[in-house]
Amino acid sequence: MKTQNIIPALLLSSIGLMSLYSCNGTSVDTIKAMESNYDNQNKTIELTGEFDAPSFTFSSGKSKTMSMNFVVKPHAISSEKFTAFSVMLPVGTEKNSVLFELPADQKNYTLKNFHVIDKNGEKINLDTHTTFKMTGTVHYSELEKPEGERDKNNFNYKITDVTFEKD
């Protein structure tokens, strides 16, 4: 009788572990591809992960866009992270935008100072580490140069036309 209960339990456990390990492999594969070839030029990609604050210095408060980072993991319990850099979001309070709020007396920023407004208009603080499904179009800066002047190992990109929602 115990054997009959153990086999279904083991089967169910292994299916659960397999789904946990494969839950975000396509996002990781997409980032790896973006950093190793130009196959995604002008293509819309989809990633599942969370926004992270960019590393930047302030030049003025008049910028209309902000280059955000988007972090994905191979699976939920992984400590390994892959980052899509230069996810371009408009600054403001419209849908699919980012809002940066730093009090005048505060010198350093944290995730608490960043909010994103998703495609449904919901304002979400990045400090909550919310998972999003994000889509956007990839553009490689190197491909804007004449072919003879390109560095075939430079895969710097920007992701534009971004939409996102809580996953």
- Per-residue pLDDT tens for 55-78? 764 545 678 999 999 999 988 788
Query: Radius of gyration (Cα) for the chain, nearest Å?
Result: 20
Q: Confirm if 161 and 119 have CB atoms less than 8 A apart.
A: no
Q: What per-residue confidence (pLDDT) applies to 21?
A: 39
**Helix and strand numbers, DSSP H then E, in the chain:** 2, 8
pLDDT above 70 (res 6): no
pTM, 2 dp: 0.81
Q: Residue 45 corresponds to which tokens in the numbers above?
A: 């990609």
pLDDT for residue 2: 54
Q: Is 5 exposed, middle or buried (0-12, 13-18, 19+ CB in 10 A)?
A: exposed
Average pLDDT, the chain: 85
Grade residue 19 by pLDDT with cuts at 50, 70 and 90: very low
- Say if residues 86 and 157 touch (Cβ distance below 8 Å): yes
In this predicted structure, what is the pLDDT of residue 5?
58
